[in-house]
Amino acid sequence: MYLIKKSDVLNIAKALSAAYQVYGPVVEKVSGQTFFEKVDDISEITLAAPIPAAPPKSVVFPQAERIMSYRYAGGNTPVEIKPDYAETPKALFGLRSCDLTGIQCLDRFFLGQEFVDDVYRHHRKKMFIVTNTCVVPFKYCFCVCTDSGPCADEGYDLNLTDIGDNFFVEAGSAQGEALCKKLNLENASEQHRSEKNACVDKSITLFEEFSTESKAWISRVMNRVTTGFAKEDVWEYVGDQCFECGACSFVCPSCSCFNIADASGGNGSCNRLRTWDSCSYEGYSRMAGGHNPRKPVEDRRNKRFFCKLSYSQSKKYLRPGCVGCGRCNWVCPGDIGLPNVVKYIRRETTSR
């Protein structure tokens, strides 16, 4: 455990930028919204900025990326295939605990099942993660309901907690420890650790007051969702409300469905692209010839909540799929973000 003066905290990011491409929270001037972006000028980072509008999952799982290119001139000519893996070492600076948990879900899903996803593995291979404790929760947060915040307890290289004049710095790995040594950070005492713990406890008590938009008793509904005992009219209502816009999937730190398409570049050359997809789309499950086993919207919507809230899916993530970031509640034009749906299932009604 170490300390770093508040005014010096970006020195950590500067040090990282020597060996890594740094990504961090940047407040966009016009909209005032936070985006988790590639940063070349470290001073652009606002560590205290609210949770980013889009999840940092795009660093390890980009919205669109080329995973391979090939060239084939037809007939009996050779085919040249080139895999295209992103190899740049990346540092995520100022990640929120919910978003780290999202990346852990993706890790377990992409790397921990029967097959390892090579594209994802390359993104994740050389990475340095600095998390930032939320000492004040934001409006849509409910990580306290999903056991994913407000403070990360594993999976980071360094964790920062704002304890007043200083940040309390915890190293979670050998490379984290090494960086603290290299930066000559001041050692912290047990007193400082108690201060940090008090900040986290305080933050938890602030949810009642600040996080007014989302609450979700997910443990109460997981059993019902898994066993199919959620009421049919709840799904029907959810289906009626859904615009099939896909926003919920795109802003969710643990959603990982993708599509693959080969885009021709002329002259027999072609790029294989992988792009985010959403189970809300009608074409998602439609098969060649037009047969669609999941035609009604509600069949596709209850799939999303099954993914986030069932025990079967939790086995893949080793935790519930929802990490309590609240983004789907924030963006959904149909007012059926996860916290609302949890409420409907729990109360067996569709009125709020």
Partner 1 sequence: MNGIKIVTIPEVATIEEIRDEIRDVKTFYLSLDNKEIDKNFKIKSGQFIMCTVFGAGEFAVSLPPSPENDRFHLTVRKVGSVTNALHELKPGGKLGIRGPFGNGFPFEEIKGKNIIYVAGGIGLIPLRSSIVHVLQHKKEFGRVLMLHGARTPDDLMYKDNLKEWQSFDGFETYITVDVAAPGWTGEVGFVHTLFDKANLPIENTVAFVCGPPVMFNTVIGELMKRGLSDDCIISTLERHMKCGVGKCQHCAIGRTLVCTDGPVYTYRQIKTLGEQI
Ligand X SMILES: Cc1cc2nc3c(=O)[nH]c(=O)nc-3n(C[C@H](O)[C@H](O)[C@H](O)COP(=O)(O)OP(=O)(O)OC[C@H]3O[C@@H](n4cnc5c(N)ncnc54)[C@H](O)[C@@H]3O)c2cc1C
Which residues contact partner 1 by CB under 8 A? 67-68, 70, 72, 74-79, 81, 83, 109-110, 113-119, 228, 256-262, 264, 268, 270, 277, 279, 284-289, 291, 293-294, 299, 303, 306, 310, 312-313
| Ramachandran region, residue 167 (left: φ > 0; alpha: ψ -120 to 50; beta: rest) | beta
| Residue 74 contact, options ligand X, ligand SF4, partner 1, none, Cβ 5-8 Å cut-off depending on partner type | partner 1
Interface with ligand SF4 (CB under 6 A), residue from 10, 143, 332, 345: 332
2 vs 351: CA distance, rounded Å: 49
Site string for ligand SF4, 289-318 (x = CB under 6 A): -------------------x----------
Among 287, 293, 351, 352, binds ligand X (CB under 6 A): 287
Tokens of 219: 């443990």
208, 243, 265, 312: which one binds ligand SF4 (CB under 6 A): 243
d(CA 116, CA 233): 39
- Residue 289 CB, shortest distance to partner 1, in Å, is 5
Closest alpha carbon to 88 in 116, 122, 57: 122
Per the CB < 8 A criterion, the answer to whether 342 and 351 are in contact is no
Residue selected from 18, 283, 293, 351 as contacting ligand X according to rule CB under 6 A: 283
Which CB atom, from 48 or from 111, has the smaller least distance to partner 1? 111
State whether residue 92 is helix, strand or coil. Answer: strand
Q: How far apart are CA 106 and CA 120, in angstroms?
A: 9
Number of residues in contact with ligand SF4 under rule CB under 6 A = 27
Q: Tell me if 145 contacts ligand SF4 by CB under 6 A.
A: no
Question: Which CB, 201 or 232, lies closer to ligand SF4?
Answer: 232
Compare residues 116 and 198 and give the one whose CB is closer to partner 1: 116
Q: Which does 294 bind (CB under 5 to 8 A by kind): partner 1, ligand SF4, ligand X, none?
A: partner 1
Residue 42 binding partner per list ligand X, ligand SF4, partner 1, none, with a CB distance cut-off of 5 to 8 Å that depends on partner kind: none
Give the single-character DSSP code of 272.
E
Member of 6, 122, 231, 286 binding ligand X (CB under 6 A): 286
* Cα dihedral: 234, 240, 245, 247 (round 10): -30
**Tokens found for residue 158:** 């360094």
Tell me the closest approach of the beta carbon of residue 253 to ligand SF4, in angstroms.
5
List C-alpha distances in Å: 68 to 81, 87, 109, 181: 7, 14, 21, 40
CA 311 to centroid of chain Cα atoms: 20
The rounded distance, in Å, linking the Cα atoms of 239 and 29 is 37
CA 26 – CA 92 distance, rounded (Å): 12
Residue 96 carries which side chain, given as an amino acid letter?
A: R
Tell me how far apart the alpha carbons of residues 189 and 1 are, in angstroms, rounded to a whole number: 8
32 binds ligand X (CB under 6 A): no
For ligand SF4, which residue of 180, 338, 342, 345 counts as binding (CB under 6 A)? Answer: 338
User: Site residues (CB under 6 A) for ligand SF4?
Assistant: 242-248, 251-254, 280, 308, 322-328, 331-334, 336-338
User: Site residues (CB under 6 A) for ligand X?
Assistant: 259, 283, 286-288
